[in-house]
Amino acid sequence: MPKYKFVAVDQKGKEYTGNLEAADESGAEAKLREKGLFPTSVTPAGGGSKAASGKGKGKGSKKPAGSNANLQKEIQMPSFMQKVSPKQLMAFTRQLATLVNAGLPLVRGLQVLGRQEKNPLLKKSLREMSDSIEGGSNFAEALVQHPKIFDKLYVNMVKAGEVGGVLDKVLLSLAEFMEKVQKIKNKVKGAMIYPIVVLSLTMLILAFLMIVIIPKFQKIFEDIMQGKPLPWLTRQVVIFSENFVVIGPIIVVVVILLSIALKFAKKTQKGAYVIDWVKLRMPLFGSLFMKSAIGRFSRTLGELMDSGVPVLQALTIVGETSGNAVVESAIHEVHDAVKEGENIAPTLDSTNIFPPMVISMVEVGEETGELPQMLKRIADNFDDEVDNAVAGLTSVIEPLLIVFLAVIVGAIVIALFLPLIGIIEGLNTQ
């Protein structure tokens, strides 16, 4: 059986490290729980592992560990370049939920996770949060001090969990929520990557043909045509090749400037609204962006309300974390209407963004008092629709891009062979 290196704590917060044999990681975690330990890290043990299983070995390894830490400190990236990935934040949240659920004090849990954390920014933040809580702050107040890592959604859900005494459940819900949101993001990005890659390859092939191949054929044509005019298509390809050295860099510069302009426009309120409005109405991809945005809105609002966050505060947070300016504007309208005493469903309907199915399910949720659960069902339904939309897009885009590539390359090949065909026909006539 394979060996696994583990880090675990008992109910008193005492930390244990060592190796054990198990069929897989889940089996290793189960064995640790049987012994009354709560695993915080279980990884395959490589050959020659220096993991310690006793206190004596742990002490003996302090010096090299310190020198490694000093080395890592020397080669750290500047603080402004450091970041915590969604995957790292999900892992931390899930591990902290496990420790809190096991009865471990919050400060002790943060200290345990901080010692084993490899990301320097998160490690430093955990240490500072632990000190802040020991100084009298609550967990939510400690999180607010690190906005680069923990957004308003995270902070407010934790605040609601602390007030309701269900912090472990809220942390677990947060981890599951982040996993689902990241999964949808990856699927949408995956749908965009394929056409971008194919179009990039098409541009590279076109550049190679224009810069290397066409000039060589042009010299051949000048020798064998003996002053005769080239066919129309061949002339156009040769002219484009001659100007490509000038046109190519101009196109690249225009694309770069356009990207920079869009990036700056996205930071303004009107620019972000226009860009997101165009995204939602793009052919093929618009429907995918819309379904993803509605699914994110439903899941975020459902999770916040289920955690005990008041509806007006939840709507404010959802608007700020929606990721789409058009949806954010619609949510602000809903917030203002609910503040005046109206229900959510009719206001969502008046925005002309949300489909009738969403309106109907929200209305039923409000009438039955199960709105958070209904919102989560809506999110699950739209997650499935995003899956189907991605699969459908892939099946449509793939043949379209192949045809596009074939037309470009085919037109160039035909243009190169037309003069040769004309010469052969002339020889046959003679």
Q: How confident is the model at residue 55 (pLDDT cuts 50, 70, 90)?
A: very low
Contact, 322 vs 354, CB < 8 A?
no
Q: Residue 186: is its pLDDT beyond 80?
A: yes
CA distance 322 to 272: 13
- pLDDT tens profile 126-153: 999 999 888 888 898 899 888 888 888 8
pLDDT of residue 136: 85
How much of the chain exceeds pLDDT 70, in percent?
88
User: CA torsion, points 172, 175, 177, 183, in degrees to nearest 10?
Assistant: -150
3-state helix, strand, coil in the chain (%, to 5): 75, 5, 20
Displacement of CA 385 from its chain's centroid (Å): 18
Q: Do 85-150 and 176-430 agree at the fold level?
A: yes
Q: What is the mean pLDDT of residues 317-339?
A: 88
Distances (CA, A) of 304 to 132, 152, 207, 273, 317: 25, 11, 51, 25, 9
Overall pTM > 0.75: no
pLDDT of residue 360: 93
Q: Residue 219: is its pLDDT beyond 90?
A: no
pLDDT of residue 423: 74
Q: What is the mean pLDDT of residues 230-239?
A: 86
Q: State which H helix or E strand residue 167 sits in.
A: helix 167-208
| Two structure tokens written together for 255 | 């694309």
List CB contacts of 105: < 8 A, sequence separation 6 or more. 13
- pLDDT tens profile 78-98: 544 578 888 889 889 988 988
Q: What would the CATH number be for the domain defined by 85-150?
A: 1.20.81.30
Contact, 412 vs 244, CB < 8 A?
no
CA distance 109 to 95: 9
Q: How confident is the model at residue 427 (pLDDT cuts 50, 70, 90)?
A: low
Q: Where are the domains of the chain?
A: 1-64, 85-150, 176-430
Instruction: Give the β-pairing of 15-21 and 38-44.
Output: unpaired
- pLDDT tens profile 363-401: 999 999 899 999 999 988 988 888 888 888 878 887 888
| Two structure tokens written together for 225 | 């045509």
pLDDT of residue 210: 86
pLDDT of residue 258: 92
Place of tokens 């198990």: 22
What's phi and psi for 19, nearest 5 deg? -125, 150
| Two structure tokens written together for 121 | 């920014």
Place of tokens 């190519």: 248
Q: What would the CATH number be for the domain defined by 176-430?
A: 1.20.81.30
Which carries the bigger pLDDT value, residue 55 or residue 189?
A: 189
